[in-house]
Structure 1
Amino acid sequence: MLKVLLASRNAGKLREFAALLPDVTLVPWPSEAPELPETGAFFQDNALQKAEGAAAWWREHGTEAIDGVLADDSGLCVDALWGGPGVLSARFAPDLPTYRDRNRRLLDMLPEGADRTARFVCVLACAPSTGPAFTVGASVEGRLALEPRGEGGFGYDPIFIPEGSDLTFGELPADAKHTLSHRARACAALREKLAILS
């Protein structure tokens, strides 16, 4: 079984990756480790920054052998907001303490009668312990709900309705979300890439 360092402290992502990659042992990013950079203009840039930065730190300070590092950069891209918040999704409305508040602010930013189409994007960067880093990505189309609905998932899940559903990611059971989500699709692409490389 592969042992991979997950370059994130996001508890929601850790839960999802554990469910989506059951054949991988995930090592959480340690509390004493530094914050990882996210200064890129694109999801791919940020994912690679985090994976390569985490790999470099682990080589100096890691406490166990790993097969590689996995990093994720993902976000919500809203057409009526010119693709925002996009790569800034995790840093949107930093003055607000909770995603519940941020979701409401984002919905309030939509002009009346605006197109509500949106997509979730996920790019995974993998830095194997041997070989160059690579990325895989995926997205899921959908639309924004009129108000937050559901307590499941995390982040923007309560306001995003995936294409073909009437329920938000916050309302869908986890196993249903894991067949539809951007992260599930990116993990499927990652497994295919790792199978080719092995």
Structure 2
Amino acid sequence: MIVHSPLKIVLASRNAGKLREFTELLPEVTFVPWPADAPELPETGAFFQDNALQKAEGARAWWREHGAEPVDGVLADDSGLCVDALWGGPGVLSARFAPDLPTYRDKNRRLLAMVPDGADRSARFVCVLAYAPLRGESLTASGAVEGSLAFDHRGDGGFGYDPIFIPDGFDRTFGELPPETKHTLSHRARACVALRARLGLD
């Protein structure tokens, strides 16, 4: 699929951190946030790709009926932290982990407390993007970054699980690294590179 910039794309997410990152990672795209009065999007799949497609195609169907402005398509992201010592969890449930806790600082500390003493701390961030053009077939692109868990929440940068994830080759978490460094190696950055190639934006 080859498209022409500039693109106007609905981001099927109300996560302000994701909107900020996608705006920085895909500067040739104008992003339209998912409206406050739009429905919550389903993510009941067993895999990241299932959820990303489910959200993108659900958002596209809604936008065709209710969208307030013309757009080229819809982008959805499903991503998460996969921890080896937790059998790959929280994985696709990352966004819904510890719903009783109000902040990610609290969620991060609970997740770290679940890792047994002396266990392998290997982990990876995975991201799958699904792009659903307003007319045409959807496509996906993915990215991942290997690393390990820190022993505590470190840094105030990024969002979500960033302050407990140390990418391979570094001694600082994504919460401590500057955004320009994170954007060269994160799972979301790598997925955006793959998406740009699939859309013919390079």
Tell me if TM exceeds 0.5: yes
Q: Which residue of 2 aligns with 1:181?
A: 186
TM-fit CA distance, 1:129: 1.8
1:164 aligned counterpart, secondary structure: coil
TM-fit CA distance, 1:189: 0.3
1:136 aligned counterpart, secondary structure: strand
> Aligned partner of 1:195: which letter?
G
Residue of structure 2 aligned with 1:139, choices 125, 140, 144: 144
> Aligned partner of 1:44: which letter?
Q
Residue of structure 1 aligned with 2:111, choices 106, 117, 127: 106
Structure 1, unmatched stretches of 5+, are none
- Larger RCO (alpha carbons 8 Å, 6+ apart): 2
Written as runs of structure 1 = structure 2, the 5 A alignment for 1:53-64 is: 53-64=58-69
TM-fit CA distance, 1:130: 2.6
Q: Which residue of 2 aligns with 1:14?
A: 19
TM-fit CA distance, 1:131: 1.6
> Aligned partner of 1:39: which letter?
T
Please provide the CA RMSD for this pair: 1.0
Structure 2, unmatched stretches of 5+, are 1-5
Per-residue CA deviations over 1:22-46 (Å, capped at 9, x if unaligned) read 0000000000000000100000000
CA–CA distance in 1 between the matches of 2:187 and 2:65? 33
1:73 aligned counterpart, secondary structure: strand
In the alignment, does 2:41 pair up with 1:36?
yes
CA–CA distance in 1 between the matches of 2:78 and 2:52? 5
* Runs of 4+ residues deviating >6 angstroms: none
Written as runs of structure 1 = structure 2, the 5 A alignment for 1:90-169 is: 90-169=95-174
CA–CA distance in 2 between the matches of 1:88 and 1:23? 31
Q: TM-score, normalised by structure 2?
A: 0.96
